[in-house]
Amino acid sequence: MEPCTASLPDTALTRVIDPLQSDPIAVPACVGTGAAEIDAALPWAGLPRGLHEVSGEVGEAAKVAFAASLAGRRSGYGGRPILWCRPRRVALTAGDPYGPGMAHLGISPDALILVEAEKPADLLWAMEEGARTKGLAAVVAEGVIPNLTASRRLQLAAEVGNGLVLLLPKGRQTAPSSALTRWFVRSLPSRQEAGGPGSPRWHVELWRCRGGGRLREWIVEWDDAAFSLSVVPQLADGSLAAPAQDGIGAIGAQRSRAGGQSPDGGRQFGDALGPVRRPASG
Amino acid sequence: MRLGLSVGQPLADARALVPDLIVADSEPAADAASLIALTEWCTRYSPWAAPDGEDGIRLDITGCAHLFGGETGIVRDMARRLRGFGIGTRGAIADTPAAAWGWARYRPRKAGPILRTGDDKALMSLPVAALRLQPDSLETLAALGLDTVGTVAALPRGPLTHRLGEAVLERLDRMFGRAAEPISPRAIAEPWISRLIFAEPIGRREDIDAATERLLANLCREMEQNGQGARRLLLAFYRVDGAVQHIAVGTSHPSHTQVHIMRLFAERLDSVAPGFGIEAMVLEATETEPLVSEQTGFSVSGEMDTAALARLIDRLQNRLGPQRVVRLVPVESHVPERAERRAVAGPSGRHHGKLGTWSLPQSRLLKSLRPLTLLPIPEPIQAIAPVPDDPPLSFRWKEKNHRIAAADGPERIGPEWWLAEGGRKPRDYYRVENSEGQRFWVYREGLYGDEKEPPRWFLHGFFP
């Protein structure tokens, strides 16, 4: 006999009981990206349940990180499960999710369920099953490009199961799809801290958003401490500002974005006080 | 005993007496399990077999002895076979189980294992320990100077009970057959099988589906009434031409939900070839576990349903294979690729093996950041780096040159020398960022200055 999972009717009693139950681990209907400016550009003030695509350049981990941060926010403190589907070749070329690394982006490693499937049909089937299951935080899939029919099925399955399906196709995607939003994420040089790479920075573009919204782009920076994205404002002279929360005595160099000038490579050997950085030109 | 060893002796003393002593850890659980297995083996002599305490088995061989050539035959056969297993035994046959217990452990050296019927004199000459009493009762008896069963039996019953309690009398009565002591055999597990034999061979897919549903309904109803859930099921198709086909499914949680198991079977029924027809189908639950009913909550919002997650994992594993649906398990190890392990997703929360804790780096400035994705096999790269310890200035991977704009490191991770496959070289890890903003985790294996082998560079992971 199936356990009784039918929802209770919306009577006065359930309306009284429901708020009293304080269900802190309920899946939010709409997950915000964490950056107010990006949320403001979306008609739902966040990403609703359904199918979303995050594409990027080949061999970059930026799109994986963006998707992971969204999934992590949906997974929340309780660590609701995240289904991560990919074929083996993606694991061999672009790397497999690594637990301690995923933790930096707000995903509890215990929440990850890794699914490996070779045939695209199997991969799409696994995504659909996961999207349909109520209570999964998100389904993330790499290395598969569904056609229009398959993407519609994924969208419907996500609506049934209140799930978030994040597709990470390889390269730039222009094929028709019924995804609610389409993003393109690229890595950007970070603001250096003590000579080494600082907080990761990405260039996030919203290519398509169902229900309005034109092409928008932002430069975001991932904050390790707050586990959230923050948009980096661009200053009048074209350089990027430092985010409000500063590191501990970092003397990072400002790098100008316009003109695509690459700064001097490598580190300079300084005296005993430490390495010396030359200010960027331009 | 001959070597001077005794139970409860410290290991150092024992080793001093016998230098080449073989030592093994005691595993009470494994011992109990093997005792049960041995009891089940002993049912070949008599169906009435049960374990007796921690190190004994008792059998009721009434009416079975003649099958093995009498009582001597049974004893000889059992001793021979058990010796072949490598198990040392002392056996005894007597009128009552208590007498047999005492005779097996405390009979005089010259006496045989079989106690003749009515031979009370031999029983009387056994020491009091043969009565299977508690140690304090034995001490009391020893203090009173009662050293054999006969002396205890000769005492009047009333004062004996008053002085030593009822246990002594009860044991005496059992030994001499005045009180009953039945042996309750172990229950044989009944197999969970449901069969369907067709009047005419079937071949159509709809018929096979309907038959599977009916078999499942039967089996699930029986299991539900007995509070059991199936973990592994086997469906066998017997074809007209004599061939037999099997489909096996497994679940991560014990389940007697018909809908769920039917879905697992439905995906595999495509692989059945009916041939000229199927004349019988047999569904067996080869592995079952007690099923605890879960109470569902009243919540109408989307709460996490662990049963729903278990069913999802079941469906994924049954279609893709159990090794392809895994979870991450932390392992205590410095070596990055060994700090986590892939474990087949089992019932939620149940991990196989020792569970470590995730050692998550706390701060970026502590240089212990870990990459988002890790390559299963590190890729060799060609790197140019100033000696001896500095991060690379540029590296070449897959026909593409990357010029390093910023680098952090080195973080030295040494080989785990305490493991058998240690002896590898230490690694110096660097977190590098190229001119376009992509961030990598590269390492150099080996140190400069090593004449035999120059150090090599590898790419291990990608940072966001």
> CA nearest A261 in B: which residue?
B435
Helix (H) or strand (E) holding B163: helix B157-164
Say yes or no to pLDDT of B335 above 80.
no
Tokens at residue A161, please? 């199961």
- Comparison of pLDDT for B194 and B115, the residue scoring more: B194
Tokens at residue B155, please? 């005492």
User: Considering CB atoms only, which of B303, B435, B464 is closest to A105?
Assistant: B464
Confidence of residue B353 (pLDDT cuts 50, 70, 90): very low
Under 8 Å CB-to-CB from B130, ≥6 apart: which residues? B101, B102, B103, B105, B106, B149, B175
Confidence of residue B209 (pLDDT cuts 50, 70, 90): very high
> CA nearest B345 in A: which residue?
A113
Say yes or no to pLDDT of B151 above 90.
no
- Using alpha carbons, select from B264, B318, B309, B254 the residue that is nearest to residue B287: B254
- Please state whether B165 falls in left (phi above 0), alpha (psi between -120 and 50) or beta: left
Residue A197 to residues A185, A238, B125, B150, Cα–Cα distance (Å): 19, 21, 89, 90
Cross-strand bridge partners of residue A188? A201
Which pLDDT score, from 0 to 100, does residue A238 have? Answer: 56
Say yes or no to pLDDT of B448 above 80.
no
**CA-CA-CA-CA torsion for A169, A171, A172, A174, nearest 10 degrees?**
-50
State how far the Cα of B212 lies from the Cα of B205, in Å rounded to an integer: 11
Which pLDDT score, from 0 to 100, does residue A25 have? Answer: 46
Q: Are A61 and A94 in contact (CB under 8 A)?
A: yes
Q: Do A247 and B365 touch (CB under 8 A)?
A: yes
**A interface test, pick of B306, B348, B359, B439 with most A CB neighbours within 10 Å:** B439
State how far the Cα of B315 lies from the Cα of B250, in Å rounded to an integer: 9
Which pLDDT score, from 0 to 100, does residue A254 have? Answer: 35
User: Considering CB atoms only, which of B304, B340, B376 is closest to A92?
Assistant: B376
Which pLDDT score, from 0 to 100, does residue B208 have? Answer: 92
Find the mean pLDDT for residues B273-285: 91
pLDDT > 90 in chain B, percent: 17
- Using alpha carbons, select from B197, B339, B210 the residue that is nearest to residue B279: B197
Q: Do A109 and B432 touch (CB under 8 A)?
A: no
From A135-139, A235-239, B274-278, B443-447, the region with the lowest mean pLDDT: A235-239
Find the mean pLDDT for residues B276-287: 92
Q: Do B437 and A21 touch (CB under 8 A)?
A: no
- Comparison of pLDDT for B199 and A243, the residue scoring more: B199
Say yes or no to pLDDT of B215 above 70.
yes
Which pLDDT score, from 0 to 100, does residue B235 have? Answer: 94
Say yes or no to pLDDT of B298 above 80.
no
Q: Which residues of A touch B262 (CB under 8 A)?
A: none
Residue B76 to residues A37, A251, B90, B110, B138, Cα–Cα distance (Å): 88, 89, 11, 17, 33
Mean pLDDT of chain B: 83
Which pLDDT score, from 0 to 100, does residue A20 have? Answer: 56
- Please state whether A62 falls in left (phi above 0), alpha (psi between -120 and 50) or beta: alpha
Which pLDDT score, from 0 to 100, does residue B213 have? Answer: 93
**A interface test, pick of B220, B260, B301, B332 with most A CB neighbours within 10 Å:** B301
ipTM of the complex: 0.73
pTM here?
A: 0.64
- Comparison of pLDDT for B423 and B278, the residue scoring more: B278
Q: The sheet that has B278-290: what strands, in order across it?
A: B192-202, B278-290, B228-239, B244-255
Under 8 Å CB-to-CB from B46, ≥6 apart: which residues? B59, B60, B61, B64
Q: Are B126 and B149 in contact (CB under 8 A)?
A: yes
Which pLDDT score, from 0 to 100, does residue B174 have? Answer: 87
From A39-43, A205-209, B168-172, B296-300, the region with the lowest mean pLDDT: B296-300
Q: Positive or negative, the Cα torsion across B131, B136, B141, B147?
A: positive
Q: Do A200 and B463 touch (CB under 8 A)?
A: yes
State how far the Cα of B429 lies from the Cα of B200, in Å rounded to an integer: 70
Q: Are B103 and B94 in contact (CB under 8 A)?
A: yes
State how far the Cα of B402 lies from the Cα of B395, in Å rounded to an integer: 5
Say yes or no to pLDDT of B251 above 60.
yes
Q: What is the pLDDT of residues B130-150, one digit of tens each?
A: 888 888 888 888 888 888 888
- Comparison of pLDDT for B117 and B302, the residue scoring more: B117
Lookup result for tokens 């003030």 = A45
Say yes or no to pLDDT of B41 above 70.
yes
Q: Are B413 and B429 in contact (CB under 8 A)?
A: yes
> CA nearest A263 in B: which residue?
B405
Helix (H) or strand (E) holding B460: strand B456-463
> CA nearest A84 in B: which residue?
B325
User: Considering CB atoms only, which of A14, A27, A103 is closest to B360?
Assistant: A103
> CA nearest A110 in B: which residue?
B328
Lookup result for tokens 């935080």 = A137
Return phi, psi of residue B110, to 5°: -80, -15
User: Considering CB atoms only, which of B296, B408, B437 is closest to A189?
Assistant: B437
Q: Do A94 and B373 touch (CB under 8 A)?
A: yes
Say yes or no to pLDDT of B188 above 80.
no
Say yes or no to pLDDT of B352 above 70.
no
- Using alpha carbons, select from A91, A57, A85, A90 the residue that is nearest to residue A71: A85
Residues of chain A with pLDDT under 70: 1-11, 14-28, 77-78, 173-174, 213, 235-282
Query: Å from A175 to nearest chain B CA?
Result: 26
Tokens at residue B67, please? 């099958």
State how far the Cα of A50 lies from the Cα of B268, in Å rounded to an integer: 30
Q: Are B228 and B205 in contact (CB under 8 A)?
A: no
Q: Do A3 and B316 touch (CB under 8 A)?
A: no
Domains along the sequence of chain B with CATH: 27-175 (no CATH), 193-290 (3.30.1490.100), 306-364 (no CATH), 373-463 (no CATH)
Find the mean pLDDT for residues B166-182: 85
Q: What is the pLDDT of residues B94-133, one digit of tens each?
A: 888 888 888 888 888 888 888 888 788 888 888 888 888 8
Say yes or no to pLDDT of B398 above 80.
yes
Confidence of residue B349 (pLDDT cuts 50, 70, 90): very low
